[in-house]
């Protein structure tokens, strides 16, 4: 009789905010009893430690979830991340505000831990290069969460494009509007100098980059201020980003350009009927894809609850709590699936039966949907957007960043000035 191999992986978290509650905690709750794959057997996930600034969220979480997670360690400043990575985690998830991803991820990779970073991975290609080199040197995975790629609607889009049912994208738009409670409440502590584009446009930058391939050519961006911060300051209420990509012509002629406009905000009224407004339209040589996350399903009104403490249009695909027909409670959706998939990739590298560890590492590291090494054009767009907004706030709007220009990989041109500022000298 054969026995199923069993293993354990210790999980460490850096940051324990909203996204931890929504996606990591539900996964750790179910995966502590083990995930199964024929290649590695059963692997239980032990949420072993968390690093935060003050530890207050960690202690509140412990008090509320003591039966599921009785004995994780909480590390606090100074050097919370340094203490965490020197302890026992096999992989580390970085879910701090986006301008703090790099430091936590670097500490974990230097300590030889596999790493998963929340989107956007990092804010510059210089940082990306450093993390990718560290992961290669220490032979671990460095990955990023873009869970919208796992949304069933986007999987269908990817399938139709891969099968050339929808052929040759021409242009498109995407919009994602977050409620005011995000900018005025949840993120108020760290929002100074930040913008909603880096926070959420990045989901669509990745969707476009991953689904359609192509070469990023130019980036422009503008936006509005005055609600979250002063009208002449550097904190943005909303942004409008334009990306120009170049694609091979399907008939072998000259390459063709496609423009994508991505509009984001975090000042939508809190009584908006959905959590967030998300809409995309992509036009192809032979078709049009229209997606609207709120209009794909349910509208539900409950007296004295909707639209504030409960929402009218519910996204049951991202992360929903359910009573299953067999009377068990569950929490599932693509937000959780994205984290679980990373955990499976780590288990495959460490315990998978097929090939040696190095071969398995190469195979998992080569998955472009979540690998840091494949995030180059997305980070290039984010780095360009950050620089364009910074210039705009300093009184110099209307600049453009050219990608793989003769002057450098990312070259920012001000109107009327032929000499660019080089944001990144290497090739994107």
Ligand X SMILES: NC(=O)c1ccc[n+]([C@@H]2O[C@H](COP(=O)([O-])OP(=O)(O)OC[C@H]3O[C@@H](n4cnc5c(N)ncnc54)[C@H](O)[C@@H]3O)[C@@H](O)[C@H]2O)c1
Q: Is 341 in the site for ligand X (CB under 6 A)?
A: no
317 binds ligand X, rule: CB under 6 A: no
All residues at 6 or more sequence positions from 48 whose CB lies less than 8 Å from its CB, including other chains: 10, 11, 12, 72, 73, 87, 88, 89
One of 17, 34, 82, 213 touching ligand X (CB under 6 A) = 17
Q: By C-beta, is 194 or 376 nearer to ligand X?
A: 194
CA 169 from centre of chain: 23
The correct pick among 51, 150, 219, 400 for binding ligand X (CB under 6 A) is 51
| CA-CA-CA-CA torsion sign (390, 393, 396, 399) | positive
Q: Does 19 sit near ligand X (CB under 6 A)? A: yes
Residue environment code for 411-423, b if the CB has 16+ CB neighbours within 10 A, otherwise e:
bbbeeeeeebbeb
Beta strands 329-332 and 400-405 are unpaired
Contact (CB, 8 A) for 257 and 245: yes
The residue within the footprint of ligand X, chosen from 72, 91, 199, 424 (CB under 6 A), is 199
Nearer to ligand X, 143 or 147 (CB): 147
| Nearest residue relative to ligand X (C-beta) | 17
Between 59 and 359, CB nearer to ligand X: 59
Q: How far is the CB of 25 from ligand X (least distance, A)?
A: 11
Q: What are the beta bridge partners of residue 331?
A: 321
Q: Which stretch binds ligand X (CB under 6 A): 18-26, 107-115, 210-218, 240-248?
A: 18-26
377 and 36 Cβ atoms separated by less than 8 Å: no
Distance of CA 244 to the CA centre of its chain: 21
Number of residues that bind ligand X (CB under 6 A): 25
Please report whether residue 119 would count as binding ligand X according to CB under 6 A.
Answer: yes
Which is nearest to 145 in space by CA: 183, 106, 202, 213?
202
Does the N-terminal peptide bond of residue 338 adopt cis geometry, omega within 30 degrees of 0? no
CA 203 vs. chain centroid, Å, equals 6
**Stretch binding ligand X (CB under 6 A), from 48-56, 134-142, 238-246, 357-365:** 48-56
Q: Which of 46, 52, 121, 220 binds ligand X (CB under 6 A)?
A: 52
Closer residue to ligand X, CB minimum distance, 53 or 215: 53
Q: Which stretch binds ligand X (CB under 6 A): 92-100, 127-135, 287-295, 417-425?
A: 92-100
The Cα–Cα gap between 37 and 197 comes to 38
Which residues, at least 6 apart from 227, have a Cβ–Cβ distance to it below 8 Å?
180, 183, 237, 267
| Cα 226 versus chain centre, distance | 27
Closer residue to ligand X in complex, CB, 40/266: 266
Q: Which is nearer to ligand X, 91 or 187 (CB)?
A: 187
Q: Any contact of residue 186 with ligand X (CB under 6 A)?
A: yes
Our measurement of the distance from residue 10's CA atom to the centroid of its chain's CA atoms, rounded to an integer in Å, reads: 22
Q: Would you count residue 264 as binding ligand X (CB under 6 A)?
A: no
Of 281, 299, 306, which is closest to residue 291 (Cα–Cα)? 281
47: contact with ligand X by CB under 6 A: no
96 binds ligand X (CB under 6 A): yes
207 in contact with ligand X (CB under 6 A): no
Choice between 335 and 408, CB closer to ligand X: 335
Q: Is 82 in the site for ligand X (CB under 6 A)?
A: no
Taking CB under 6 A as the binding criterion, the range among 62-70, 97-105, 364-372, 374-382 that sits at the site for ligand X is 97-105
Look at residue 172 and give its three-state secondary structure: strand
SS3 at position 230:
coil
Of the listed pieces 16-24, 36-44, 227-235, 357-365, which binds ligand X according to CB under 6 A? Answer: 16-24
- Is residue 193 within the footprint of ligand X (CB under 6 A)? no
Cα distance between residue 61 and residue 22, in whole Å = 13
Q: How far is the CB of 202 from ligand X (least distance, A)?
A: 8
Residue with tokens 């009377």: 327
Spatial distance between the Cα atoms of 403 and 384, rounded to a whole number of angstroms: 9
Binder among 95, 107, 149, 412 for ligand X (CB under 6 A): 95
Residues engaged in binding ligand X (CB under 6 A): 14-20, 51-53, 57, 80-81, 95-98, 100, 118-119, 145, 147, 186-187, 199
């Amino acid at each position: 009789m054969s026995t199923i191999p069993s293993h354990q992986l210790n999980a460490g978290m850096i940051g324990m905010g909203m996204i931890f509650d929504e996606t990591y905690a539900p996964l750790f709750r179910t995966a502590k009893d083990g995930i199964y794959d024929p290649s590695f057997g059963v692997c239980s996930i032990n949420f072993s430690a968390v690093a935060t600034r003050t530890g207050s969220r960690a202690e509140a979480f412990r008090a509320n979830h003591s039966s599921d997670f009785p004995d994780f360690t909480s590390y606090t400043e100074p050097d919370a991340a340094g203490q965490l990575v020197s302890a026992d985690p096999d992989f580390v998830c970085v879910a701090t505000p986006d301008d703090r991803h790099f430091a936590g991820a670097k500490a974990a990779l230097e300590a030889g831990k596999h790493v998963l970073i929340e989107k956007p991975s990092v804010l510059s290609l210089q940082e990306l290069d450093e993390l990718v080199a560290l992961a290669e040197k220490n032979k671990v995975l460095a990955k990023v969460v873009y869970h919208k790629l796992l949304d069933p609607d986007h999987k269908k889009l990817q399938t139709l494009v891969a099968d050339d049912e929808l052929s040759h994208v021409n242009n498109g738009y995407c919009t994602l509007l977050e409620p005011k409670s995000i900018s005025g409440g949840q993120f108020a502590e760290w929002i100074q100098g930040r913008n909603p584009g880096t926070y959420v446009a990045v989901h669509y930058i990745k969707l476009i980059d991953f689904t359609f391939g192509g070469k990023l050519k130019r980036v422009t961006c503008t936006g509005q201020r005055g609600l979250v911060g002063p009208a002449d300051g550097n904190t943005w209420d909303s942004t409008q980003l334009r990306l120009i990509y170049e694609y091979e012509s399907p008939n072998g002629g000259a390459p063709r350009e496609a423009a994508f406009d991505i509009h984001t905000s975090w000042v939508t009224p809190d009584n908006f009927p959905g959590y967030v407004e998300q809409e995309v339209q992509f036009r192809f040589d032979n078709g049009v894809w229209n997606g609207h996350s709120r209009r794909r399903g349910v509208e539900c009104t409950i007296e004295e609850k909707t639209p504030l403490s409960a929402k009218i249009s519910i996204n049951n695909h991202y992360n929903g709590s359910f009573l299953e027909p067999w009377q068990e409670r569950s929490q599932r959706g693509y937000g959780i699936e994205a984290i679980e998939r990373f955990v499976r990739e780590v288990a495959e590298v460490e315990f998978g039966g097929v090939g040696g560890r190095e071969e398995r590492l190469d195979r998992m590291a080569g998955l472009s949907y979540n690998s840091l090494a494949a995030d180059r054009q997305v980070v290039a767009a984010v780095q360009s957007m950050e620089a364009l907004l910074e210039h705009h706030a300093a009184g110099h709007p209307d600049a453009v960043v050219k990608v793989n220009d003769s002057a450098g990989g990312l070259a920012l041109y001000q109107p009327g000035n032929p000499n660019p500022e080089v944001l990144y000298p290497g090739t994107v």
